Amino acid sequence: MLNKNTKIKVLVIAVKDDRKRFKFLMKPLNITKTIESEVVLKMKSYPVFLVRLLLKAVRFKPDLIIAVEADIIGFSAILLNKLILRNKPVILRSGGDSISPRLTSFRTFLGSRGERSFKETLRFYKDRILHTLSMYVYDTCSHFIVVNNSHAHEFQKFINLKNRKIFIVPQCLTVEHPNRPRKCATKDTISFLTVTNLRYEGKYRGLLELVRYLQRYVSEGHVKKRKIVLQICGDGYYYSRLLDHINTIADKHNGLRIRCHGYVRKPSPYYSNADLFMYASYFDALPNVLLEAQAYGLPILVNDYLPFQEFLTDHWNAVFYRSGDFEDFRAKLDELMTNANLRKRLSANGMKNIMENYSPETIAVKLERVINEISNYPR
């Protein structure tokens, strides 16, 4: 148990990426009054990263470690604890992606038969190694921080908690410029936006559902005197398959244009210029893109995947359509296209939701409470 007058030292281990997503955790940590925090970012060279991590731990002497995601990062946190820190809490913070499809798809892939290409074989063994490391981390870490109740239920279903505790703390979000409720698009061309990670089959399946539904929506004549442009930001393993599908129908729907931009480091211009945000997935827990869309004041059309219903409310800050049901998708999109008051309400409520529930200050209070509890947790 720590002295009440001493700040709790927290070492965060996260991946280094272009969008600096580690700030979702570091921003609220830096606001707290009882926590002193530092971060080590994973680089491509694992030996260099590990040396930097060990040196940081020796100098900083953390009271606990937060590993942002499992696999290499979580394994490194546990290795550090065993080599140097000795019996400090190692907290696994699991972000916006679901774990159940990941584990289920791995088992299916593992048991599959048939020939694989060299590229698929390499991906298979890479996934197998990462899966093994992740399962070790799930079984060994001290506690879990997850983003919502749906994610917590998944952990309880797949992971043996062994007297460990799950804490719920969403990610924070900040947008660097003020927003106003946006007016409805009355122009000739309407811009829809989706941002996703095509590394995962469940997200690709959701995006493909949106693309096919929009194609049918246009071909059946539901768009009157206007054209739709769907902007897709996102890259990954399934990106080439998406392009193959889009190329086969490129000239068949004159009222629809689909523009794939691949990975976008700074998607803010796409959010700012869009009229409506669309999203469908069968993999997520709390995807950051749905928070970003609200922060930019975008009306949202999303499938009724259960985890989304925990932080989005139908016809308050989003409109849900039934997954796999085109007729319901058509009806909900018609409603959004014709009801300016609904779009205005979704826009205003979305921004309000972000400011009140996902600001760094709000998340800092929750995070500070959790870390103080873990620090005094009997070991």
Distance CA 228, CA 2 (A): 59
Does residue 219 sit in the same domain as residue 346?
A: yes
What is the C-alpha to C-alpha distance for residues 63 and 372, in angstroms, rounded to an integer?
Answer: 11
* Residue of 141 and 160 predicted with greater confidence: 141
Two structure tokens written together for 257: 């244009």
Residue with tokens 């040396």: 51
Q: What does the block give as tokens for 94? A: 């699991």
Which range (103-117, 138-152, 160-174, 327-341) has the least confidence? Answer: 103-117
One domain, residues 220 and 150:
no
CATH number at residue 330: 3.40.50.2000
Segment 9-37 shows an average pLDDT of: 91
Q: Is residue 213 part of a domain?
A: yes
Q: Does residue 241 sit in the same domain as residue 307? A: yes
Q: What is the pLDDT of residue 229?
A: 93
User: What is the domain count for the chain?
Assistant: 2
Do 254 and 353 fall into the same domain?
Answer: yes
Asked if residue 203 and residue 261 are part of one domain, the reply reads yes
CA distances to 206, 218, 267 from 261, in Å? 18, 22, 10
The 8-class DSSP code of residue 225 comes to: S
With H, G, I as helix, E, B as strand and everything else as coil, classify residue 75.
Answer: helix
> Which sign, positive or negative, has the C-alpha torsion 158, 151, 103, 71?
negative
Question: Considering the chain, what is the average pLDDT of its residues?
Answer: 87
Q: Judge whether 3 lies within some domain.
A: no
Same domain, residue pair 154 and 217: no
Tokens found for residue 13:
């281990």
On whether residue 177 sits in a domain, the answer given is: no
* Better pLDDT: 281 or 99: 281
Determine, yes or no, domain membership for 269.
Answer: yes
Of residues 178 and 144, which shows the higher confidence score?
144
Asked whether the CA dihedral 164, 283, 288, 74 is positive or negative, the reply is positive
Whether the CB-CB separation of 208 and 242 falls below 8 Å is answered with yes
Structure tokens of 19?
């969008």
Per-residue pLDDT, 374: 93
pTM of the model: 0.86
pLDDT of residue 3: 52
Which domain does 221 fall in, by range?
A: 189-357
Which tokens go with 342? 């609904």
Q: Is residue 1 part of a domain?
A: no
What was the pLDDT predicted at 40?
95
Tens of pLDDT along 214-261? 999 998 988 877 889 999 999 998 999 999 988 886 656 678 899 999
Burial 351-364 (b: 16+ CB within 10 A, else e): bebbbeebbbebbb
- Domain match, 53 and 120 both: yes
pLDDT at position 86, please? 82
Inside any domain, residue 344 = yes
Instruction: Give the residues across from 231 on adjacent strands.
Output: 193, 259
Distance CA 128, CA 134 (A): 10
CA distances from 220 to 228, 308, 327, 339, 342 (A): 14, 29, 12, 21, 24
Same domain, 319 and 363: no
The answer to whether residue 300 sits within a structural domain is: yes
Per-residue pLDDT averaged across 50-56, rounded?
94
Answer yes or no: do 105 and 202 share one domain.
Answer: no
Nearest-10 Cα torsion for 67, 69, 70, 72: -80
For residues 127 and 213, membership in a common domain is answered with no
pLDDT digits (tens, 9 = 90+) for 183-199: 544 568 899 999 999 98
The 10 Å Cβ neighbour count of residue 162 is 7
Same domain, 280 and 131: no
The answer to the question of residue 2 being in a domain is no
Whether the pLDDT of residue 52 is over 60: the answer is yes
Predicted confidence at residue 261, as pLDDT, reads 96
Q: What is the pLDDT of residues 351-372, one digit of tens each?
A: 999 999 999 999 999 999 999 9
pLDDT of residue 250: 61
Q: Which of 289, 284, 194 is nearest to 233 (CA)?
A: 194
DSSP string computed for 286-348: S-HHHHHHHHTT--EEEE--GGGGGT--BTTTBEEE-TT-HHHHHHHHHHHHH-HHHHHHHHH
The closest of 282, 280, 283 to 301, measured between CA atoms, is 280
Please tell me whether residue 69 adopts helix, strand or coil conformation. Answer: coil
Q: End-to-end CA distance of the chain, in Å?
A: 10
State which amino acid sits at residue 312.
L
Instruction: For residue 278, give the nearest of 224, 320, 219, 247 by alpha carbon.
Output: 320
pLDDT at 105 (0 to 100): 53
Query: In the prediction, which pLDDT does 118 show?
Result: 74
Are the beta carbons of 53 and 78 closer than 8 angstroms? no
| pLDDT value at residue 189 | 86
- Taking 50 as the threshold, does the pLDDT of residue 63 lie above it? yes
pLDDT at 178: 46
Do 195 and 161 share a structural domain? no
| Tens of pLDDT, residues 263-316 | 998 899 999 999 999 999 998 888 999 999 999 999 999 999 999 999 999 999
Residue count of the chain: 379
Please say if the pLDDT value at position 98 is more than 70. no
Which helix or strand (DSSP H or E) is residue 52 part of?
helix 46-60
* C-beta separation of 152 from 166 below 8 A: yes
Between residues 126 and 246, which one has the greater pLDDT? 246
